[in-house]
Structure 1
Amino acid sequence: MPHVPLHRSSPARGGLRAPALLLLGALAGLLLLASPRAHAVASFARQTGAACADCHIGSYGPALTPYGMRFKLAGYTDSDGNGRKIPVSGQIVAARSMPARGDSTSQISELDLYLAGRISEHVGGYAKLASNNTGKDKFDTRLTEFDVRFAGSTFKLGGKDARIGVTVNNNPGAQDPIGVLPAASSLGPASAYAGSTSILNSSALSRRTVGTSVYATFDRDWYGELGTYHSMSRSWQDRLGFPVAGDPGKLSDTGYLRLAYMRDFKRHFFSAGFTALSTRQRRPRGTGPSNDIDDLGYDLTYQFLGDREHVLSLSYVNIYERRRYGDPLIGAVDPTRVPLRRGWIRDQSLGLHYAFRQRYGIRVAHMINTGSADPARYVPYGVPDTTSNLISLYWTPFGREDSYTSQANLRLSATWFRFDKFNGASKRVFGTPTTDADDLNQFQLAASVMF
């Protein structure tokens, strides 16, 4: 489930003047939950000769098996050696969404084109061009994802295998090989305001930045990555299909660090990771004051793989963010409420994914967003606290060696989204009696085809 920053309006600019817009933004954001960013790209399967189920739990993604992790670390370059394959894939997503409040909709929600494959012996990657239905069959096309890698050959270091590589991508955390960080796993807490989730779980940086990292593996068990990110210019954001109103501003002194221990026991897999992201964000662009943001996070993952008849994955992610605000809160609803100059946010997600014969599966997630009290920034209750849950049942008939095709796939899913708390409360979430947290609940039926 993609993290769900539900609307970019904030109390600083909108306050309580548009609770209806926040509600609509919430419901629209929830649609992303059933459309994970990373799928079992069919052109990779054709390139390697492997089935989708070899790389992905549930044969469709986004969760990776240890084999899929190694393919990613090798720069998407592994091949069956049977000549070059056309590095193009497509995806069509159709959904019927039934919110607790509002009208149900049935539509082709997404049309995607992937350029994905091996470029040379050491270079490979993918880019995704997505057309999302914005309503009334009008599609908004954007370059939403890319990850291009150079992966050097393995060499000996202290008698152990080692590898060094470089990744260029547009979403901090999406390049992670374990795939548990919000940008890669699609699991992350929702919130009323984009500014009330950690920057690793927010849309503020994803897709509007360009980053370069150097990564290394040692003895197959240890992974390290160090890199930096810069926000794209407004003109480039516009060229790629993103409205400039969502510009994250100018980023400076941005550093990204990832350390992880990954152990593949064949029938079992375990990992423990640490992540850090630090940046200075100036918004809007210019010479004004900036906000200093520091993220520190850790994650734990366990997979039971067995003989692949029963596959179980458990993950936990905890991200703590410290903030030092430099810009004033402009347009506050109540001028007597003075915004704090320091604050913190904590995002947590606990996920379970079970697949039977890589054909039938269930995903369950519990997500918590909490933060320091700030009555000016978080109206009306002074805290951003949101607690949400996801339950998804799916069927993937293809993508395995014993299926009709192992290199294309279909997923039929039924997903329920549920909120215990939203915007700091369970009832009257916008300070009025018209909206409760459970009004944001939604049920969705979806069909996704990858070819």
Structure 2
Amino acid sequence: MPPFSFRRHAGWWAAVALLLSLVSLDAQAIPAYARQTGSACADCHAGAYGPGLTPYGMRFKLNGYTDTDGQGTKIPVAVQLTETHTAPATAPSSTSLTEGDLYLAGRLTENVGGYIKVEADHTGHNTYNTRLGNLDLRFVAKELKLGGKDLTLGVSVNNAPGFQDPIAALPNASFIAPGGVTGTLLNLGSPNSPTNRVIGATVYALYDKVWYAEAGTYRSLAAGTQDELGYNRNGDPGKLSDTGYFRFAYMKDMRRQFFSAGLVGLTTKRRLPHAAARDDIDDLGYDLTYQYLGNREHIIQASYVNIYERRDYGQRLPSPVLPGTLEPKRGSARDQTASLSYTFRQSYGVQLSHLKSTGSSSDARYPPFGNPDATSNLYTIFWTPFGRDDSWITKGNLKLAATWFRFTRFNGRGSNVFGAPPGVKGVDPGDFNAFSISASLAF
């Protein structure tokens, strides 16, 4: 009986490694912001290192990253280095400097600020790929009044729909998303996701400190531009046109508690590849977030995100099961994420996430079973010794984390997910499990 082949399924392992890194590495507080505002990292982030934002951190983001302590100009630069040991269930373990990041982040003028991440990702054999990460440049008008109520107006130019969201609940802002063979456009873990491969602009407003609204548009970057920015052309999201994005949310800061409820939508026409027939795609989702902040000794956060995608395919594929027939013209996908985290004294924490990706059946698009459903869980414990007002380093940060990424279902099955024939050892969802220990230093 042939053994499990790591090489044969290297593509899936790479996808799993990416999802693991999204959770364990991209959750960062940026010391450049702490130096600019005079506040400790823990003032903006529930766990001192992120990614969860406190209401204070949400306001800083809404204000275009421009708030300052008024003590002169600060250099808007920060650096992050991450060392990781990864132990997959059935693949070789590895230890390496997995990522080095440069942040150009902070205030340019009273009304202009931003966030630019340039990252160097380890690709094996002591080689690194440098690419442009998240981008969010803002112009904001603050301290306005409308009907006697506070009003903030802003414009965001960004490259990942949802990254600019102040609540940080959407996948591109929380860095937590389901993985599988399908997924919505708003899910950074989906195949051919537009994350960081598009450019767009949105206009947003916060009224009476509780009502948030945002609308804008995006277009995909040319394949050659993506390549120049460090992205493999195999992940090209295709040619997007007539793209619209909206976000509405109710945000209630109750000092010791915070609650939000939001809606998000994305509609586009996509050609993948660029010469293919056009697919009409519409995403619509909702999210709920609750934070118990108390006196910051015990912080609890719970969130739930549910995004549904409707697809009208430009081309009907021949059915591999019923020769002479065509598969349905319409399809769908759904991504759901439920997360619960607890942080003690903004230093010690645990996070549990349940991730589920489902979609309509298609024998042609999702071989071998025609079922794209996938379910996974993330379990993370972490320690952040710095970044608080009472720590000896308040403008720098360190995060030590242990993460277990566990699949329970893949390709709609709990075993033999690639349909190995009798006598051949199959691949089970648990074969994609991985455990990692990481140390991230930001200064």
- Shorter-chain TM range is over 0.9
> Which has the higher mean CA deviation after the structures are superposed, 210-219 or 30-39?
30-39
Which residue of the partner structure matches residue 206 of structure 1? 195
Q: How many residues align?
A: 429
What is the aligned partner in structure 2 of residue 450 from structure 1? 442
- TM-score of the aligned structures, taking structure 2 as reference length: 0.94
Secondary structure at 2:226 match in 1:
helix
Distance 1:145 1:26, change over 3 A: closer
Deviation at 1:183, TM superposition (A): 0.5
- 1:67-146 pair list within 5 angstroms: 67-146=56-135
> Which amino acid letter does the alignment assign opposite residue 436 of structure 1?
D
What is the match of residue 12 of structure 1?
none
| Residue number among 409, 431, 434 corresponding to 1:439 in the alignment | 431
* C-alpha spacing 1:149/1:38, structure 2 compared with 1 (3 Å): farther
1:149-160 to structure 2, matched below 5 A, reads 149-160=138-149
Indicate yes or no: 2:183 matched with 1:197. yes
**4, 9, 20: which one pairs with 1:31?**
20
Give 1:359's aligned residue: 347
Q: Give yes or no for contact 2:24–2:403 (8 Å, CA) kept in 1.
A: no
Matched, 1:231 2:220: yes
| TM superposition outliers: structure 1 runs of 4+ over 4 Å | 332-335
How far apart are 1:364 and its partner, in Å? 0.5
The match for 1:265 among 247, 254, 267 is: 254
C-alpha contact (below 8 Å) 2:278/2:314 kept by paired residues: yes
Query: CA-to-partner distance for each residue in 1:328-348, whole Å, 9 max, x for gaps?
Result: 559x97783743311111110
Q: Deviation at 1:246?
A: 2.3
Question: Which residue pairs with 2:291 in the alignment?
Answer: 303
Per-residue deviation, residues 338-362 of structure 1 (Å, max 9, x unmatched): 4331111111010011100000000
- Please tell me whether residue 57 in structure 1 is matched to residue 46 in structure 2: yes
The 1:151/1:44 distance shift into structure 2, 3 A limit, reads same
Question: How far apart in 2 are the matches of 1:22 and 1:129?
Answer: 24
Shift of 1:243: 2.4
Instruction: Find the aligned partners of 2:225 and 2:407 in 1 and give their Cα distance.
Output: 36
Q: Which residue is equivalent to 1:254?
A: 243
Displacement, 1:376?
Answer: 1.4
Please name the residue that 2:356 is paired with.
368
Q: Which amino acid aligns with 1:442?
A: A
Alignment of 1:182 onto 2:171? yes
User: How far off its partner does 1:308 sit?
Assistant: 0.2
Q: CA deviation at 1:372?
A: 1.1
Matched residue type, 1:386: A
Equivalent residue, structure 2, for 1:171: 160
Alpha-carbon offset, residue 31 of structure 1: 3.2
| Secondary structure at 1:388 match in 2 | strand
Alignment match, 1:220 = 209
5+ residue gaps in structure 2? 1-6
> Equivalents in 2 of 1:77, 1:363: separation in Å?
30
Report the Cα offset of residue 314 of structure 1.
0.3
Structure-1 separation of matches of 2:97 and 2:202: 36
* RMSD (Å) for aligned C-alpha atoms: 1.6
Task: Provide the C-alpha distance between the structure 2 equivalents of 1:117 and 1:295, rounded to a whole number of angstroms.
Answer: 32
CA distance in 2, matches of 1:50, 1:305: 17
> 8 Å contact 1:19–1:430 — kept in the other structure?
no
CA deviation profile, 1:396-435 (whole Å, cap 9, x unmatched): 0000011011111000011111111111101001111421
The structural deviation recorded for 1:23 is 3.3
CA contact (8 A) 2:25 2:82 kept: no
Contact 2:16–2:179, Cα closer than 8 Å, also in 1: no
1:348-389 CA deviation, whole Å, 9 max, x = no partner?
Answer: 010011100000000100011111111211112211111100
Cα distance in structure 2, aligned partners of 1:327 and 1:449: 48
- Higher mean Cα deviation, 151-160 or 290-299? 151-160
One-letter amino acid matched to 2:91: G
Q: C-alpha distance in 2, partners of 1:31/1:388?
A: 11
Partner Cα distance (2:326, 2:31) in 1: 53
> Which one-letter code corresponds to 1:388 in the other structure?
S
SS of the aligned residue for 1:434 comes to coil
Contact 1:304 1:313 in 2 (8 A): yes
Q: State the identity %.
A: 52
Q: Distance in 2 between matches of 1:416 and 1:333?
A: 37
2:409 pairs with 1:421? yes
Q: How does 1:372-387 map to 2 (within 5 A)?
A: 372-387=360-375
Q: CA deviation at 1:235?
A: 2.6
Q: For residues 187 and 254 of structure 1, what CA distance do their matches in structure 2 show?
A: 24
Distance in 2 of aligned mates of 1:276 and 1:36: 27
Give 1:8's aligned residue. Answer: none
